[in-house]
Amino acid sequence: MKSQLLKSKMTLVLILLLAYFIRVFGVNWDQGFHLHPDERMLIMVADKINFFKNLNPDFFNYGSLPVYILKGLSQLIDYLFNKNLATYAGMLTIGRKMSIVFDLITICFIYKIAKLFFKENKIALFSVLFYTISFFPIQNSHFFVVDVLLNTLVTGLIYTLLIYLKSPSLNKILFLGLFFAAMMATKFTAIIFLPIIFGVIFLKNINYWKNLILHMLVFCFLFLSFYFIFMPYAFIEKTRFITDIKSQLKMNSDPYIFPYTLQYVGSLPYLYYLKNIFMWGLGPIISLMSLIGFISLIRLIRKNYILIIFTIFYLLYFLIIGQSAVKFMRYMLPLYPLFALLAGYGFYQIYKLSKIFSFTIILTCLIWTFMFINIYTFPHTRISATDWILKNIPKGSTLAVEHWDDRIPIHGSENYYFEELTIYELPDDKIKWQILSEKLKRTDYIIIASNRLYIPLSKLTDCKKFRSCYPETAKYYQKLFEEKLTFKKIVEFSDYPRIEIGPPTGGWKFEINDDLADESFTVYDHPKIMIYKKIN
């Protein structure tokens, strides 16, 4: 028994090491250029903060806790080791390493939850392995974004709720208050879990009204106390806080509000998320393992009220977030621990039948993950495109760039003139395109820095169906891509998931085109870039 336990712990350590190495691999994917816009914004907010001189983030689209942790940790490292990391450049490195640590903690919580449910080491190890090699958590660990910390806190909260259900006590209430306050101070949407917390406390103390009142009051007191500590300016600047939160909630209910959310116009609730999870977030094999696990688990749910609470917890999140109008893939990151647990349980059913077939499944999943991690073995496409522009486009040339997208070249822009193509502007009529046509006449090269504009706008052509429509823009892109304008594509930079065997030229290569994935899956770390040259 002891040897089996030791073997299980050693296997868990090896999986954690694997998780660390595949998350730290390529973590400097943008070579310090801050090419993730949310990450860039958070670090700009953190850069204004100084412990203990100025703690006002002056920004409440996200919670203050991730920013405070980032700046506080950076300042502490500077104080202890004189590293000069509490800077705009230095915090990029610290923030991404924080994300890796948070995700490793998530893996530990998944292991504990699996052990709690299944009482079987193999299922717990299979679960953490599938989470470890699912690409979407790997990808998000390469960014300093609040969703990674939120995922850790959500998983920690569900573990605390489960052990509270088994044995309610005030010390567990302490952790419930701590986790929920940290979640709320990370992202306001965490409020959807409050009814579950109250429901669990009520369920376990329904016959002990004194305990019920005591636990409810202690939870509320601890939550408010920790929330004030983690996010004091939500109270001090409550008007600004409420305004920012309303703006975010409005965005999630209306995809027409911002140009970069037009991609979600017409997308189907729930199914859009599930499609992207299946194809890109988990990959088809792990998704199928999750489905098998879910089907296998249904028969156990009716006999286990803890499993019922667990299911309701995640189902509530999916039902509320899944129907939102704006559907960034990262909104579903807190569901990935659930998928991993289901995949571990489903895989265990196959493992009991055939160990050889099980090994084949694991190997296939590892190859799939390796293909996606491969995007970090090459320079970022924006950097490659910048290098090409500086070498091949003459100084003094005029480059047309699209607004609402990162400008390329990302450095050396002083060598060129720029025409900004305000393609999102409405109405999309002949007057708009007369202005843009004049800009194109003064243009030597058109830079398409990603699919951010042309993918959604090419679909929004029906003005009777869509509130914002772009029929003229769709015609422009069609003509540009078919080279029916006075511009010809001279170079393209792409970095698709792939596996290669043999020399770069003449070897074997298998590549997955992920252009149809949710824009946020590709636009940060491997966007496709196209450059068109005016033909005289």
pLDDT in tens, 345-381: 999 999 999 999 999 999 999 999 999 999 999 999 9
State if pTM tops 0.75: yes
pLDDT in the model for residue 365: 97
Total number of domains in the chain:
2
Q: Which of 377, 412, 429 is the last residue of a domain?
A: 377
How confident is the model at residue 440, as a pLDDT?
Answer: 97
Q: Are 40 and 157 in contact (CB under 8 A)?
A: no
Is the same domain home to 290 and 353?
yes
Instruction: Determine the pLDDT at residue 400.
Output: 98
- At residue 152, the pLDDT reads 98
User: Does residue 463 fall inside a structural domain?
Assistant: yes
In this structure, the answer to whether residues 400 and 485 fall within a common structural domain is yes
Residues 314, 454, single domain; the answer is no
Residues 373 and 421 in one domain: no
Q: Taking all residues of the chain, what is their mean pLDDT, rounded to a whole number?
A: 95
Tokens standing for residue 208:
């002990």
- How high is the pLDDT of residue 202? 94
User: Among 161, 275, 177, which residue's Cα sits nearest to residue 217?
Assistant: 177
Q: Do 368 and 429 have their domain in common?
A: no
Residues 372 and 384 placed together within one structural domain of the fold: no
Distance CA 457, CA 259 (A): 10
Residues 347 and 476 in one domain: no
Which residue range is the domain that position 332 belongs to? 269-377
Task: Classify residue 72: in a domain, yes or no.
Answer: no
Decide if 41 is inside a domain: no
Domain annotation covers residue 491: yes
Could you tell me if residue 87 is inside a domain? no
Identify the H or E element spanning 148: helix 146-166
The pLDDT of residue 137 is: 98
State the pLDDT at residue 263: 95
State which of 321, 355, 377 marks the end of a domain: 377
* Residue 8 within any structural domain of the chain: no
Q: Please give the Cα distance from 248 to 482 (Å, whole number).
A: 38
Q: How far apart are the first and last CA of the chain?
A: 79
Q: What is the pLDDT of residue 306?
A: 82
Whether 337 and 393 map to the same domain: the answer is: no
Are residue 370 and residue 385 in the same domain, yes or no?
A: no
Which residue stretches of 89-120 are H helix?
A: 90-118
Query: What residues in the chain have per-residue pLDDT under 70?
Result: 1-2, 303, 504-506
Verify that 387 and 487 share a domain, yes or no.
yes
Last residue of a domain, which of 339, 359, 377?
A: 377
pLDDT score of 298: 83
- Environment class of residue 64 by beta-carbon count within 10 Å: exposed (0-12), middle (13-18) or buried (19+)? buried
Between CA 119 and CA 475 the distance in angstroms is 60
With respect to residue 467, please indicate whether it lies within any of the assigned structural domains: yes
Residues 358 and 397 in one domain: no
Q: Are 318 and 395 part of one and the same domain?
A: no
Q: What is the pLDDT of residue 38?
A: 96
Q: What pLDDT, on a 0 to 100 scale, did the predictor assign at position 504?
A: 65
For residue 81, tell me if it sits in a domain.
no
Rg (CA), the chain: 25
